[in-house]
Structure 1
């Protein structure tokens, strides 16, 4: 899910699925102003005639072209702002590869011309949101489950642990942040498997969204 808003607000201004949909066949939406692609809730509502793509898998961006479309939709249609007029705060998974962070930065500055930006670990912001600078954050979303230990604003994970060897021993954790590639997506897949075994065919990306709705409404 994409959550977007403004600093100082109590809640996001916009929440929508990180989905990009494209028509399966050209001309099937004649008279409806067919577009090359649809994003978020609009893609969700037209899923029966679209091929849906998920540019974020297990918390990591895997399709930058589609991710750029989602960001454009966020700025222009959800928040209705000019990105070049607003500094941007983006979140990332705790073990997000450095190359991905660099690509995020490149797109924001070169494509959207933002004046400034910062990338923060999701778990750290969750800790801030509860008024704490120390804690263990368990975050299970659609694509990834993260366990993030935080001490004095520092996210401790294996790649950065050596940076803090000179600090007090109580501030260094032997075990570190973990990312499990098991979350809501996998539960949806398991429910699809059960339904298929019982004779209900759910195979397309659009049908996956139906199963996801069932899971979320009945769980």
Structure 2
């Protein structure tokens, strides 16, 4: 059974009907998990998956797929996530670009891995809900349906715009959604369960700008991150950087108050000082600056 809708045609009762018509509710939480819908949210940098009704995803992996050169068997030669960067004989593929899937074979491998290895479920036993960004073409939804039914073997499939689901998460059918991702930042009005594409705005100032800026700051301190270290710089950004409440006062503090040493995989030690708050404070200003 195929459930398909346009981003401007999805309403709250549609999602409710999908959930109630495809899942036999039981009093046991374990039974609900064994038969409940699974949600997969694919982003440019990471892909999240979990069970419907949970407050947070059950699994999150890097949106990176690698193929071992010369390996026998397509499935056996696939490496998912940042682990693919550890093997020099592995060819990595970009699954998504600016929020849109550009390699459907890699996307199939990624979803299969999430379901079978991370969630440890049989795709044929669960309805599948996939998210899509604003301005997705019709061909993208057709490819999603083909992947859900023919590759994963899901009994039911539903696709929903990400801004609408964000509004539903907070119990709203009308909201102004600010979606800040790795490749783009979008502001989308949601009115009565419908995303208003004509009134939406988008900018390329997003998470990857922070990663690039951190790389330049590290270069200024004498560290030259290689191309293969981009994922490590991304991890440093999330784990070590912060937005200073008062930028000027933060700069006047002694370096010891914000110094942090990080051990790198090659055995060297990276020392961060003002880079920790220069990064996010500067980009926070760029995002919030009017006009």
Compute the TM-score of the two structures, normalised by the length of structure 2.
Answer: 0.60
Matched residue SS, 2:187: strand
Uncovered stretches (5+) of structure 2, i.e. residues with no partner: 1-45, 242-291
In 2, Cα distance between equivalents of 1:217 and 1:187: 13
1:116 to 156, 159, 174: 156
The answer to whether the Cα contact below 8 Å between 1:21 and 1:47 also exists between their aligned partners in 2 is no
Aligned length: 192
The corresponding residue for 2:127 is 87
Give the 4+ runs in structure 1 shifted more than 6 A.
Answer: none
1:7-64 CA-partner distances (Å, limit 9, x unpaired): 22222111222111345x769xxxxxxx5231125436x3677554331121111111
- Bigger Cα Rg: 2
The answer to whether the Cα contact below 8 Å between 1:87 and 1:117 also exists between their aligned partners in 2 is yes
2:77 to 17, 36, 47: 36
The corresponding residue for 2:56 is 11
| Residue correspondence of structure 1 range 117-132 to structure 2 within 5 A | 117-132=157-172
1:104-157 CA-partner distances (Å, limit 9, x unpaired): 111111211211111111111111111111110001112221211011111111
User: Alpha-carbon deviation of 1:96?
Assistant: 1.5
1:59-112 CA-partner distances (Å, limit 9, x unpaired): 111111111110110111011111122110000111122221221111111211
| 1:207 counterpart = 2:224 | no
The answer to whether the Cα contact below 8 Å between 2:211 and 2:234 also exists between their aligned partners in 1 is yes
Cα gap change, 1:202/1:47 in structure 2, threshold over 3 Å: closer, same or farther?
Answer: farther
| Residue correspondence of structure 1 range 1-219 to structure 2 within 5 A | 1-23=46-68, 36-40=77-81, 42-43=83-84, 46=86, 50-158=90-198, 176-204=199-227, 206-219=228-241
Matched residue SS, 1:104: helix
In 1, Cα distance between equivalents of 2:61 and 2:213: 23
The answer to whether the Cα contact below 8 Å between 1:20 and 1:54 also exists between their aligned partners in 2 is yes
In 2, Cα distance between equivalents of 1:22 and 1:198: 35
Cα gap change, 1:19/1:218 in structure 2, threshold over 3 Å: closer, same or farther?
Answer: same
Compute the TM-score of the two structures, normalised by the length of structure 1.
Answer: 0.78
The corresponding residue for 2:248 is none
The answer to whether the Cα contact below 8 Å between 1:192 and 1:202 also exists between their aligned partners in 2 is yes
Matched residue SS, 1:146: strand
Q: CA RMSD in A?
A: 2.3
The answer to whether the Cα contact below 8 Å between 1:94 and 1:179 also exists between their aligned partners in 2 is no
